[in-house]
Structure 1
């Protein structure tokens, strides 16, 4: 039987192989993950059961050491299994009883750590939203928190492609933003959007921001002060339409850009052009026809992107006609003549029936 010195040296060697730590980074060998998780889970459940028992016996007068154990062990479990709902829930219970703002910020730090290695953890994102709601209920100034949250979601979206949860979280934040923050987000997000023109989530975020400008009281106040619609919001939407058209012409065949254009078009007509008079609607529609014609020119050395561009331009006009009243619909069709039918048959014959449906309607 080996003596204690030999056993100690052997155990020390195994531990060195199982764990690696350098530059504030910890690596754990895969062969110890399962037993380590079982031990962490056992410690957490034991401390949680003790916490519940003391709560039932003494109400809110719970021994601080027990709360500390619950928080410590739940953190350990979550770092190994980020979607362990019981651990997140017990942290919410303990923190909400404390009513200490610093604890809320500690929760944001923990979930940030979890998201750094598991960026699509729904539980971690949900926990952050709970924390922000709690902070919002008690503290009115959220500007720094929201700015930090938006930056976090942006960084994670850059590292983790197609991360719907990060973008969904960012969209959720918009409802808490002030007027100046919304405008800053729209401005600052342009460069990112320009580099990710195929990312639907990015443009869905801009959709949420733009919609918010029409919901808020400051837009209604602007309307009272300037019934002619010559307002800051009006200018914001106008610039967004121009920017959208620039992207469409520069980045050929990107469907996300055309879908965003549809959103801008219908809101522009409803909230601005229609209220300012029929002439403004006509000017907008004439511009859309020019855009359609410029995007349906396919070079002789045909590239797939140009064909996609022509298809999106044609289907966009068909969609736009459906949004108009009968008089405007007929007017657009007369200006188009046979152009759109020829484009549809050429680049997407499977969608040519859409034009027949529009003509039947008119």
Structure 2
């Protein structure tokens, strides 16, 4: 009986060395693949797009690039490796069944992600621990943290510790090159994960550091606007992108305002509240600029008239099957009353205490409100204030 019961135990115990061996092999492969990934990132530091693809898609990418797997019968290629020319002409050694890199684009096979995650996490936390607890960290320790945290974040973009490690390094060694690297890294992550909250947050922190280091950064604001616009047009309901966009409006010059672009999006994507909320931020920025100039009254009146004409155009849209035009009209009217209220506080003592005095089209505006959204009139009246509401519409009697 004892011998029989010990037999399964001995078989089970014999499996442990095998499992340990397999784990060791996987760990070695993960570290090897991570080294290849980090080499690619170092050799091609202008990568602007990243994707995680199925192995069959990776094979198609290699085929379309004019590359094919080399003869694996050759011992030098027994590990499925191939020499590939980097974008800048330098050779990069990597496993073409796992990676594809060309024209500043990078693709990674989804089948190897678990191994990469384990390896990247280990190397990052080991390097960060050494750097964090070193009284006088050497330059090599700093480089290790930046290199390993970058590869880790590319496959685990919302790891807050990795982002914070980069903040620590940059705070201790604030320079333009490091700041620009951070902008490129967050943009790369946002290319495949546009709703990554930590990436957007880190990007705002980086822009603040750039402002501290350089002062004038109008070019960065312009490029930031282009980046966010591309993301917003691709993911229209991306709250994090719109929140970021509204944040950096305050860094714009008044000449960089985006009313026309916002208008085009509103016309294309009917009933999207995020677009109207963003227009409020743009209007607030514009009115703050005008309120600082005592000679800007005609500009304010012209702005208000154009906004009213825009609102009327949306309220006049015919009803549709999904009620999207009605929603658009309600959002437009709410925006207009918000602008009127802001004007009251922007010019509390000037001739624009009653900014609607010379507006054309108020009668039509009220008729459209009564026909499209009669139940919301009391809400808008309460928001604007009874006295202001009466001054706005009683003059029409």
Q: What's the TM-score once normalised by structure 1's chain length?
A: 0.72
Taking only aligned residues, the RMSD between alpha carbons, in angstroms, comes to 3.4
Q: Evaluate the alpha carbon distance shift between residue 6 and residue 293 of structure 1 in structure 2; reply closer, same or farther with a 3 A threshold.
A: same
Could you list the runs of 5+ residues in structure 2 that have no partner in the other structure?
A: 1-72, 83-94, 319-324
Whose helix fraction is larger, Structure 1's or Structure 2's? Answer: 1
After TM superposition, the structure 1 stretch with the greater mean CA deviation from structure 2, 264-273 or 70-79, is 264-273
Question: Which residue is 1:357 aligned to?
Answer: none
Q: Is the 8 A contact 2:194 2:231 kept in 1?
A: yes
Distance 1:7 1:122 in 2: 46
Q: Which residue of structure 2 aligns with residue 244 of structure 1? A: 311
1:31 is the counterpart of 2:107: no
Cα distance in 1 between the residues matched to 2:337 and 2:243: 21
1:297-335 CA distances to partner (integer Å, 9 max, x unpaired)?
A: 6xxxxxxxxxxxx13xx2443334333436964995898
Match of 1:49 in 2: 129
TM-aligned CA distance change 1:329 to 1:274, over 3 Å: farther
Cα deviation, residue 272, structure 1 = 6.7
Q: CA deviation at 1:49?
A: 1.5
Give yes or no for the alignment of 1:166 onto 2:241. Answer: yes
Is the 1:175–1:212 contact (alpha carbons within 8 Å) kept by the matching residues of 2?
A: yes
Q: Does 1:12 align with 2:92?
A: no
> Please, which of 379, 383, 388 is the counterpart of residue 319 of structure 1?
379
Against the structure 1 CA distance between its residues 295 and 86, is the aligned structure 2 distance closer, same or farther, given a 3 Å change threshold? same
Q: Which residue of 2 aligns with 1:211?
A: 284
Per the alignment, residue 290 of structure 1 pairs with 364
Pairwise CA distance, 1:23? 5.0
Q: 1:235 to 1:139 in 2, by over 3 A?
A: farther
CA positional deviation for 1:122: 0.6
SS at match of 2:80: helix
Displacement of 1:241: 2.4
Assess if the C-alpha contact under 8 Å between 1:274 and 1:280 holds in 2: no
Q: Mark the runs of 5 or more structure 1 residues left unpaired by the alignment.
A: 298-309, 337-362
Please name the residue that 2:179 is paired with.
104
Aligned to 2:89: none
Q: Secondary structure at the match of 1:180?
A: helix
Pairs aligned (count): 305
TM normalised by structure 2 equals: 0.67
Matches within 5 A, 1:343-362: none
Q: 1:82 aligns with which of 133, 147, 157?
A: 157
| DSSP 3-state at the match of 2:107 | strand
Structure 2 residue aligned with 1:72: 147
Q: Describe how 1:157-306 pairs up with structure 2 within 5 A.
A: 157-181=232-256, 184-216=257-289, 219-220=291-292, 222-223=293-294, 226=295, 230-250=297-317, 252-253=325-326, 254=328, 255-268=330-343, 276=351, 281=356, 287-294=361-368
